[in-house]
Chains A and B, each alone.
Chain A
Amino acid sequence: MKKTLIVLSAVLTLMAAKVSAQVANWNIAPGYSVAFSTSGDAAGIFKTLKGVIKFDPANPGGSSFQVSIDVASINTGNGLMNTHAKSAEWFDATKFPQITFQSTSITGSGSNFQAVGNLTMHGVTKPITIPFTFQRTGAGGTFQASFKVNRVQFGVGKSGDVDDDIALKLSVPVTK
């Protein structure tokens, strides 16, 4: 009987530990912004962002991001530039309709974190590190990130008039 109780308590302890290690799922809330800019005219936003966000600031190791952006949702503010950006010369939205990011590890503490993972764009997958912050706001929170992506390495356009490095700025409010 004593042996059974010990085994049972050990199992319960393990289960409790597993439950506490489970990381919360966050839903992307309206009002998010995925903006890109260069030193020139090429700037705009992607209007669609979807994904599965599992994040716990106290347990970044158990957290993960799997997000995607619809390339066709690009908006530069100019119809001609939008069409051009979606064409085969740039993003080739018909052939590669999505830009995706899958994290492999998340580290950090407080409100500053780093997500290491694979970014797939224009059919090319490359590892990338995205520094980000997470601020709790009531029952929700907001992720913010600013980083650069070398578009030429992903085969998006050629080196020329537009900067190779595109600055990305993300602000993603989330709710549970």
Chain B
Amino acid sequence: MKKLLILGVVSGLLAGILSFLYSKVYAHYLGLDFSSIATPAKMILASAIGGLIAAVGYFLLQRMLGLKGEAVFNLLFTILSFASILGPIATKLPLDMQSPEMFPWLVMPMHLFPALGWMTLKPLFFPNKTLA
């Protein structure tokens, strides 16, 4: 469990850093600044929390479903990450913020980064010992 939690935090931090870099690229190329809403601290914290929840979910699914747990977890993590993009679509920004219709395009990809980070780093934390 401890290793899973570390994986959760590290993959979350990686996702947070990716989100920050992506926001910089987005602001540079589109000239739109949402940095007062999507702050670096929020990005990193939200991603780290997402990673921790993933670690707990993975642990519980492994216990309940055994070998099938991993496949179910990956499926659920992907589906939930994708479903969570509804959040930014429904978000109401302050009225002085320009181009609110472009805000979801900044934040939606970020919602997929924690899953991406988890699936990227997991083989490093739990390498497959057997090959079919």
Chain A interface residues (CB < 8 Å from chain B): 35, 41, 44-45, 75-83
B58 to chain A, nearest CB (A): 33
Are A77 and B101 touching (Cβ within 8 A)?
no
CA distance A22 to B100 in the complex (A): 44
- Residue of B89, B91, B100, B103 touching A75 (CB-CB under 8 A): B100
Other A-B contacts than A76-B100, A77-B92, A81-B92, 20 sampled, CB-CB below 8 A, are A35-B95, A41-B92, A75-B95, A75-B100, A76-B92, A76-B95, A77-B94, A77-B95, A77-B100, A78-B91, A79-B89, A79-B99, A79-B101, A79-B104, A80-B89, A80-B90, A80-B101, A82-B100, A82-B101, A83-B101
Are A79 and B95 touching (Cβ within 8 A)?
no
CA distance A35 to B92 in the complex (A): 15
Contact residues in B for A45 (Cβ distance below 8 Å): 95
CA distance A116 to B36 in the complex (A): 42
A interface, over-half SS = mixed
CA distance A81 to B101 in the complex (A): 9
The residue in chain B whose Cβ has the minimal distance to the Cβ of A75 is B95
CA distance A77 to B104 in the complex (A): 12
CA distance A80 to B89 in the complex (A): 7
B93 contacts A by Cβ under 8 Å = yes
Chain B residues 100-122 with CB under 8 Å of chain A are 100-104
The residue in chain A whose Cβ has the minimal distance to the Cβ of B101 is A79
CA distance A82 to B80 in the complex (A): 27
- Residue of B89, B97, B102 touching A77 (CB-CB under 8 A): B97
A75 to chain B, nearest CB (A): 6
Contact residues in A for B100 (Cβ distance below 8 Å): 75-79, 82
